[in-house]
Structure 1
Amino acid sequence: MGAALRGAVRGECPRCAAPTMFAGCFPGGWVRFASKCGSCGLNYDRFNVGDGPAAFLTLIIGTIITGLAIWFDLSADPPFWVHVILWVPLTVVMVLGGLRIAKGLLLIVEYHRDAREAGGRDPEA
């Protein structure tokens, strides 16, 4: 799992380890897969990552941020604007970073497990 996590963090192709998994930079390319690997030609469109990582990250990161915000409010009693400048950017960074890693990890695991749609055929075959 360590190699898969490293590959997900770096955005590496699961076949050739070239950093070509994601489409590019902000705004949308940071978490959107490229259509295929620019190095070996692996078709990323055949993998069905779906919205699972986004749903889990929303729950996990929302829980963490809410707990930290409540703790900070009870211990320091800051004005509202401090909460806004603290928690909004932190939430955005955690969601985008976490989503990129989670989606990349799921694609790598699907590739290594040779996962396919149920009842479907492989489009690369």
Structure 2
Amino acid sequence: MTEPAATPEHPRLSSLSTGLRCRCPRCGDGPLLRGFLTIRDECPACGLDYSFADPADGPAFFVMSGIGIVVMMIFLVIEIAYRPSILFHLLVTLPVLVAGCLATLRPVKGWLVSEQWVHRAEEARWASTGKHGEGRRWR
């Protein structure tokens, strides 16, 4: 089974490397995103059509879960050890949570799009095997 990146013009690249750098999963040169989170229509360097890319809410879920767990563990340690006021948490904990999510959202989205291309992910196609009850006669 050949990988989609294994063409003579474009050697297979690491999906982690190209994804975290938000680069084209095929050539590794062209930018994947336009603006902060908008996926381009195609790669300006190699012309790869990005219409296959649909990470949906996956990046947001993984980032919120990962950063939320880490920051909340730190929050809990600080809360138990020092008992700071609520103002401390509003001025420190909340901005750290938001900054952590915003800083990691873009690379995670790039990585998920790169993984979709490498593994040829696509929307599921369903085929009917017949109508309910077909093939038997109820008596």
Counterpart pick for 1:18 among 29, 35, 41: 29
Identity %: 28
- Aligned pairs, number: 114
What's the TM-score, normalizing by structure 1?
0.77
Structure number, greater radius of gyration: 2
- Aligned partners of 2:62 and 2:20: how far apart in 1? 18
Residue in 2 aligned with 1:74? Answer: 80
How far off its partner does 1:19 sit? 4.2
Deviations 1:79-122 (A, max 9, x none): 222212222221122212222122111111111122222229xx
The one-letter amino acid paired with 1:92 is V
CA contact (8 A) 2:19 2:107 kept: yes
Match of 1:59 in 2: 65
Q: Deviations over 1:41-86 (max 9, x none)?
A: 2222322211122123222222222221121111122222221222
Is the 2:42–2:49 contact (alpha carbons within 8 Å) kept by the matching residues of 1? Answer: yes
Aligned to 1:40: 46
The answer for unaligned runs of 5 or more in structure 2 is 1-12, 127-139
Structure 1 unaligned blocks of 5 or more: 25-29, 121-125
Matched, 1:99 2:105: yes
User: Equivalents in 2 of 1:119, 1:85: separation in Å?
Assistant: 48
Instruction: Provide closer, same or farther for how the CA distance between residues 19 and 81 of structure 1 changes in structure 2, counting only shifts above 3 A.
Output: farther
Contact 2:15 2:114 in 1 (8 A): yes
Structure richer in helix, relative to its length:
1
Give the SS at the match of 1:65. helix
